[in-house]
Amino acid sequence: MLKVSVGLAWMMAWGGAAASAWGQGPVVYGPMETPGRVVDPRIRESSGLAPSRLWPGTLWTHNDSGHAPTLYQMGREGGVSGSVALEAPGALDIEDVCSFEFDGVARLAVADVGDNRRKRPAVSVLLCDEPELRPGQNLRNHPVLRRIFFTYADGPQDCESVAYDPQTQSLLLITKSWPDAKTFVVPPAGLYVLPLMDDQAGDGPGRGAAVQDPCVLERVADLKLKVITAADLSPDGKRLVVMTYGDAYQYVRGPGQSWAQVLAADPTRVALGPRGQSEGLCFGRDGRTLWISSEGLNQPLFRVSPRGQK
């Protein structure tokens, strides 16, 4: 596996200086822009986005439920440069993907966590090395290093958001709440944390076989928001952006703060325009620019650029 360090040239390719140059406050964003469209007919329901850590200026995306577990690599104008079919039999509903580095190696976490009816006995996250694709290459049977199965302590949940927390080497999972069948009240979304170094999850994402006995995740915190369709955490672990079918919202984590403390505060709104059923969101490699995709054929790829900082 080629190990690639993230340097200044990498960051400039995504339209900004290194994320560490920014302070603690929330980022101020400008209006949505449309640098391109996702026109590849294989991408019918772009449900997740993650920046590549190997190829500057490219993103990973995938389809929603009912499709094979395949990742597509595309540029900032939406053109697809290759695809990767994961060796993941039984994956039912992949809802999100995030990228990160672990032990100096670029990794992907693919979240098979969708559960609209909240009836799945267990869901899972697939951990793999980020593939090194040649332009136009379509890989098959890309190996999954670990498949971590888990349940929720408070019962089945529908989830469409996964993000990597570099400060704790954990995955953050945020649920998409639905109205109660009896009261029609929509409960708040919840945050769950899956440690990648936990005994149940194995000794890191690149060691050992799939974990078949599910971990049990406790609800760490409630959000003041409800229908969360996507989320991502900045590479420095300081800014969490969550997206609804309306706008997006930004939380800032201060030094030593727990996620319960962070999410108890009111988030900063990131105004978004009309964009269809958008369910893919990620930070660019600069740690500030946001990228958004929507479900459906021939959909725009949106960019939300930073204007400053509060």
pLDDT in tens, 45-76: 999 999 999 998 999 999 998 888 999 999 98
Mean pLDDT, range 9-19, rounded to an integer: 38
Residues in the chain: 310
pTM for this one? 0.88
Nearest to 240 by CA among 193, 302, 294: 193
Backbone dihedral angles phi then psi of residue 9, each to the nearest 5 degrees:
-60, -40
Tokens 């969550």 belong to residue: 242
Q: Are 23 and 252 in contact (CB under 8 A)?
A: no
Q: Are 295 and 62 in contact (CB under 8 A)?
A: no
pLDDT in tens, 207-217: 444 556 899 99
pLDDT band at 205 (very low <50, low <70, confident <90, very high): low
pLDDT band at 24 (very low <50, low <70, confident <90, very high): confident
**CA angle 239-244-248, nearest 5°?**
40
Asked whether the predicted pLDDT for residue 1 surpasses 60, the reply is: no
pLDDT band at 10 (very low <50, low <70, confident <90, very high): very low
Asked whether the predicted pLDDT for residue 35 surpasses 90, the reply is: yes
Render 93-112 in DSSP notation, one character per residue: -EEEEEEEEETTEEEEEEEE
How high is the pLDDT of residue 18? Answer: 43
* Euclidean distance between CA atoms 68 and 140, whole angstroms: 11
Secondary structure percentages of the chain, helix, strand, coil, to 5: 5, 45, 50
* Euclidean distance between CA atoms 221 and 215, whole angstroms: 18
Nearest to 269 by CA among 289, 287, 246, 288: 246
251, amino acid identity? Y
Residue 143 DSSP label = P
How high is the pLDDT of residue 173? Answer: 98
Please tell me the CATH code under which domain 8-19+27-309 is placed: 2.120.10
Tokens 């408070």 belong to residue: 154
What's the CA dihedral at 106, 112, 116, 118 to 10 degrees? -120
pLDDT band at 204 (very low <50, low <70, confident <90, very high): low
**CA angle 64-3-94, nearest 5°?**
10
* Euclidean distance between CA atoms 223 and 172, whole angstroms: 13
How high is the pLDDT of residue 4? Answer: 32
Q: Please, what is the end-to-end C-alpha distance for the chain in angstroms?
A: 40
pLDDT in tens, 124-133: 999 999 999 9
* Euclidean distance between CA atoms 39 and 83, whole angstroms: 14
pLDDT band at 198 (very low <50, low <70, confident <90, very high): low
* Euclidean distance between CA atoms 50 and 102, whole angstroms: 16
